[in-house]
Amino acid sequence: MRKLIVTGFLILLGAIGSTTPSNARRPDSTMVFANPNNPLITTDTSSYTNIYGLDILFSNNGFGLGFFLRKEYSRTFQGFISLAISEAKDDQEVEYYDPYTYQSYVPGKVNRFLVFPLTVGIQYRLFEDDILDTFRPYISGGIGPAIVLSSPYEKEFFSSLSYAQAHYTFNAYIGGGAFFGSDKVNIMGVSFRYYFIPVFNGIPSLADANSGLVTNKKEFGGFFISLNFGSSF
């Protein structure tokens, strides 16, 4: 009799369980399964960005300013285009300061020079899998056209520009650098470049005070240190 009652009770529980709606809320599971059409975790393959920014240039010739546009094609390769303006001086120049007029001058100087290199190049990121993103070293190189603008030194700087002559050539450089910080929206970095900017016929630069012979300057590149500031778009 007792066995019959227990059997009937179990059958009743089974009947009640079978009437539970199929969409009833069940206890939460410790495992979460993602919908393959809407995964919880995705890999961002569109994180490669375009960057525009400013270069502040330092060299033995003085200061310069540049602008660049960079596009990322992968985590290691980027292409860029840049335009810079910098001053160039003859290696033999000796600058003096006049305490009476409070002005500096270079004896025998014939022309001032401004250099405008337009460069197209590539950057290759180094140690991408070995170093944290807060320090991103790279090597780079580029080539493109350049203009060397010469203006008479005997005239004041701005008034001499109306007498300026343009000399067309090319530029090439090789270098390296690094970007710092984890923020890739606003970037900051430093780079080192050696530019080759020849003018094969030369441009009059210095006149010897004794003989009057004029020295022509033929190379307008050199070593540059650049501070880089940019923002993505």
Question: What is the pLDDT tens value at each position of the chain, 233 positions in all?
Answer: 444 444 544 444 454 444 444 444 444 444 444 455 544 444 343 455 789 999 999 998 888 999 999 998 888 899 999 999 999 998 888 888 878 877 888 888 999 999 999 999 999 988 877 676 778 899 999 999 999 999 999 998 899 999 999 999 999 999 999 988 766 678 899 999 999 999 999 999 999 877 878 999 999 999 999 999 998 88
158 and 174 Cβ atoms separated by less than 8 Å: no
β-strand partners of 119: 82
**Tokens 């502040």 sit on residue:** 56
Kindly report the pTM of this predicted structure.
0.73
For β-strands 198-207 and 186-196, DSSP reports them as unpaired
Reported as half-sphere exposure (CB side, CA atoms, 13 A), residue 175 has a value of 20
Helix or strand run (H / E) with residue 9: helix 2-18
CA-based end-to-end distance of the chain: 82
Q: 205-223: buried (b, 16+ CB within 10 Å) or exposed (e) per residue? A: bbbeeeeeeebebeebbbe
**How many Å apart are CA 197 and CA 218, to the nearest integer?**
8
| Ramachandran angles phi, psi of 198, nearest 5° | -90, 145
205 and 110 Cβ atoms separated by less than 8 Å: yes
- How much is the pLDDT for 39? 47
195 and 172 Cβ atoms separated by less than 8 Å: yes
